[in-house]
A and B are shown apart, each in its own frame.
Chain A
Amino acid sequence: MPLRRVQTVINHTLAAVVSLIMFIPVYLVIVNSLKTKAEASAMGAGLPTLLQWENFAIVIERGKLVTAFGNSVLYAVGATLIGTTVAALAAYVLSRNRTRFNRFVYFFLIMGIAMPTNFVTLMKVMQMTHLINTQLGIILLYAASSIPFSVFLIYAFIGTIPRELDEAAIIDGCNPFRLFFSVIYPLLTPVLVTAGVLNLLGIWNEFLLPLYYLNSSAYWPMTLAVYNFFGQFQADWSLVSADIVLTILPVIVIYLFAQRFILAGMTAGSVKG
C-alpha cells in the first residue's frame, strides 16, 4: 500500500510539472504585459513591481487594435458561417444520396485535408477574380480552407440521423429546403458547434493568408497586427506582451467555454466509437 501511495505522488508531481511547462508561455506574456519596458526586457518570470495597466491602452492605440479586432471578428465569424453552412449542405446531400458519383465528390472534397496550398498560383487566382486585398476575398479564402475538414466531420454525423425523419417530412409535403433547414439542421447543432468553434479558432490564429493577400494595414487582423507590432517594438517586450494578451484572450475564453466541443472534434474520425 505505501508503495502505491508513493507511485501516486510521483504521478501527480509529473502531471503538475508537465502542466506547468505547458502553461509557461501564457504566464510569461501575462506578467510581462504588466511590467515597465526595462523590467520586461528579459521577458523574465518574475512578478511586476508596479502594475502597468497603461501598456494595454498604449498598444490598443498604437497597434490600431480596435480596427484589427473588428477585422478578426469579421473574418472569423464571416468565414465560419459561410464555410460551415455550405459544408453542412454538401455533407447532407452527399451522405444521404450515396451514388457512385456522390461518393467520388465526397472523397474529392475531403482530399483537401491533405492538399497543400499553392500560394503562388493562388495569388494569380485572387488577382483574376479581383479578390486580392479585399475583405470579401479573405473571408471566402478562409471559408474555402475550412470546407474539407467540416465536410468530413458533418458527413460522419449525418450518418447517425435516422432516415425515417426525412421520409416522414417528405410525406408531410416538405420541399428539400424545408426538410434540411427545419428538420435536419437543428439536429446537427452539436457537430455544427464543434466544426464552428474549431474553424473560428483556426481562422483567428492564422496570419499567413492576410500576410500574402492583404496589403493595406486597415484590413489586418489581430495576429498580423501583433506580427507587425513585434517588428516595430522588438525591444519592448512589455508592449508586445500586452498585444499578445489581447490577441489570445478571446481564444482562451472560447477554449475554456467550448473545450468539450473542441476535444470532441479533435478525436472524431481518429477513434472509432
Chain B
Amino acid sequence: MRSRAYPFYFAGGALALYLLFYVLPSVMGFYYAFTDWNSYSSEVNFIGLENFKLIFSAGAGQNYMHFVRNTVIFTVATILLKTAIALGLAVLLTNGIRHLAYFHRVVMYLPAVLPMLVVSLVFKSILNPATGLLNTFLRSVGLDFMAQRWLVDVNWALPSVIGVDTWRGIGYIMVILIAGLQAIPKDFYEAAAIDGASAFASFRRITLPLMMPVLTVTTVLNLLYGLKVFDIVFVLTNGGPGRATDTVYTAIFDEFSKGRYGVATTLSTLLFLIMIILGYFVIRLMHREAEE
C-alpha cells in the first residue's frame, strides 16, 4: 500500500537531473584523472599516475601545494573571523539592544543576497590603493601608515580577500546564530543573574556550551564554502598578484582555460574526494539536527 500510494518514479525527475549533471561528471573525473586529455589533441591517452605526480611534486613549474596552502589559510581564517564577529553581533542584536534589532539584522544580512560578482567589483574599487574609499578614509583621519596597497601587494592580497569574504559572510552566519540564541531559555540567564554571575560568566557558562551544536553547523558550512572558494578570488585578484592568492578552484580554472583538461580534472577529483568524506559527516550532522 505504501509503495502504491508513494510511487518511486516521483523521485525520477530529481534523480535524473542529479545523476546527469552532478554524479556523472564526478564519476567521469575518476577516469580522466588518469589521462592526458587536453585541448590540443583529440586523442586521450592513459598515462597512469602522471597527473598526480605532477600535482604532488613541489617545484615542477606550478607549485600546486601552494594553492592548497592558500585554500587552507583562507578557510581557517574565514571560519575564525566570521564565527567570532558573527557571534558577537548575534549576542548584541539578541541581548544588547531591543529597538531596531530586526532592522539591523535585515541590513547586516544584505551582503549575503548580493551577487558575489557585484560585491567583488565594488570592493575592487574600495580597495584601490590610490583612489579607493578605504585608503582615502584612512588618510583623512591621519592613519596614513595603515593605508596599504591591499589587492596588489603580494603580502596583503590574501588577507584582503579574506577580509572581503568575511564582510560578506558575517550576516549569514549571524542570522543562524541568532536563531540559536533565541532558542536558549531566558530563565537560565535570570537564574545566573540572581546567583550574581557577571555578563561574561553567563556568556561562558550558559551561552557558549548551549550554542556548541549551532556553532558546529556554522563551522561546517564555512568549511564547505572555504574549500570550494572561487568567484570572490576570481573577480578580486584572479589569483594574483603573481599567484599569491590562487586557490584550488582558481588553479582548476587556470588549467582548464589553458586546455590542460587532464590536470584540471585530477585536481577536481582530489577536491571531490575530500569534500565527499567531509560531506558524509556534515550530512549526518545536519540530519541529526533536523530529526531531533
Contact = CB atoms under 8 A, between A and B. Distances in A.
Given A19-B104, A112-B22, A179-B5, A118 B269 contact: yes
B118 interface: yes
- Chain A CB within 10 Å, residue with most, of B7, B21, B136, B275: B21
B116 interface: yes
A247 interface: yes
Interface in A6-24: 8, 11-12, 14-16, 18-19, 21-24
B29 A121 contact: yes
Contact of A117 (B10, B25, B109): B25
A11 B13 contact: no
Interface residues of B, number: 101
B123 to A, nearest CB: 7
Contacts, number: 292
Nearest to A206: B115
B89 interface: yes
Contact of A120 (B183, B227, B264): B264
A116 interface: yes
Interface in A84-110: 85-87, 89-90, 92-94, 96-97, 102, 105, 107, 109-110
A87 B99 CA distance: 39
Interface string B53-77: 0000000000000000000000000
A207 B282 CA distance: 27
Interface of B: 1-8, 10-11, 13-15, 17-18, 20-22, 24-26, 28-29, 32, 89, 92-93, 96-97, 99-101, 103-111, 113-119, 121-123, 125-126, 128, 131-133, 136, 167, 170-172, 175-176, 179-180, 183, 213-214, 217-218, 221, 224, 227-228, 230-231, 235, 249, 252-253, 256, 261, 264-265, 268-269, 271-272, 275-276, 278-280, 282-283, 286-287, 289-290, 292
28 contacts: A15-B93, A15-B104, A18-B89, A19-B108, A25-B123, A29-B122, A41-B131, A43-B126, A96-B6, A97-B3, A114-B275, A114-B278, A116-B228, A118-B26, A121-B25, A121-B265, A125-B20, A144-B20, A147-B18, A206-B115, A207-B117, A227-B117, A240-B121, A244-B122, A247-B115, A248-B115, A256-B106, A272-B292
